[in-house]
Amino acid sequence: MRDLKMMTYGEAIREALDDALAQFPDMLLIGEGVPDPKTIFGTTQGLREKYGAERVLDMPLAENGMTGICIGAALAGMRPVLVHQRIDFALLSVDQLVNNAAKWHYMFDGQQKVPLVIRVIIGRGWGQGPQHSQSLQAMFAQVPGLKVVMPTTAGDAYHFMLAAIADNNPVLFIEHRWLHHIIGEVDKQAPAAGLDGAAVMREGRDVTLAAFSHMSIEALKAATTLAEHGIDAEVLDMRCVSALDIESVAASLAKTGGKLLIADCAPEMASSGHQLLSKLVLAHGDSLKQAPRLIVYPNHPVPTSHYVANHYYPGAEQIASAVLEMLGRSELTASVIGALQSDLPKDQPDRSFVGPF
């Protein structure tokens, strides 16, 4: 029987943490700001009061040391969830993640396990700028032994978080801040999710849009407007960065005539789109019937100024415009772009967003 509820992405994260704390007595939830009044944008609200200060706790500004402590706790049989409010802060713990957490299973022939979830947040907004808005998912996805997932929907956020906590090996769980307020369906009785595979968000026959995290929402916006002009785009959510689901992309291309556009919320030189294209060509070299397109951020640090940010971030307009060029339908560009244009600054997701950042 389905147990369907509507909730925001952020509420789904909190619900998953709540259910996991109840299910796994050895789970810890730890991070800078976890129990403070802002409770990681509300995603840990009330959990300290419900499960106690010994299981839901704050930590000092000592990311590398605390990651080592969490790895030790995991080796001792606990299931820590370590939270960084920005992925930028996780850079301070790269040594522990890369040289210890990701390798322990292999160095000890599978006899030792590190069931550790590192929960990090990416995304822009309100002048977060170059040190709080980076998109480093591709860098972490290059580390063998470290699973990297980026769920886009509330349903995936709930089930992926539970699956990550149940996993006996380290998982980097990446949330885009702008997804937190988006409402979606969550079916708690759905079968347990695996941390793999892309998801078809919209079926289509004219072009394949393979997108990552918040760019999947932008791709859906573009596809919805394009459909009003007779163009039917299929949207794939590349929700698992390692390993990429190449087979689903190839299957989609077989339906859409080999036309592919990739949209990623990362600078071009650090985009997982390149890895996707490389693997696709190696495994399905004849699946592409024309040159693919890649919509990504420019190759320079994220600006702080609202005015400069307006020229930094691509979105639905750029995706739709590129699709029209690919299909030889540029005569529709002005009409489609006109329908997608917004007077909101590029670092504000919608008028309901009131922060913090």
CA distance 39 to 32: 9
Here the tokens at position 52 are 């106690």
Active-site residue, from 11, 15, 32, 63: 63
CA distance 328 to 336: 14
132 catalytic? Reply is: yes
Q: Give the ranges where 145-271 is alpha helix by DSSP (H).
A: 154-166, 214-227, 246-256
Active-site residue, from 84, 132, 180, 214: 132
CA distance 44 to 36: 9
- In degrees, to the nearest 5, what angle opens at C-alpha 121 toward C-alphas 115 and 125? 180
Contact (Cβ atoms closer than 8 angstroms) between residue 226 and residue 323: yes
CA distance 96 to 311: 36
- In degrees, to the nearest 5, what angle opens at C-alpha 329 toward C-alphas 324 and 334? 75
Contact (Cβ atoms closer than 8 angstroms) between residue 341 and residue 221: no
CA distance 141 to 306: 30
Provide the 8-state DSSP code for 98. I
Query: Which residues are tagged catalytic?
Result: 63, 132
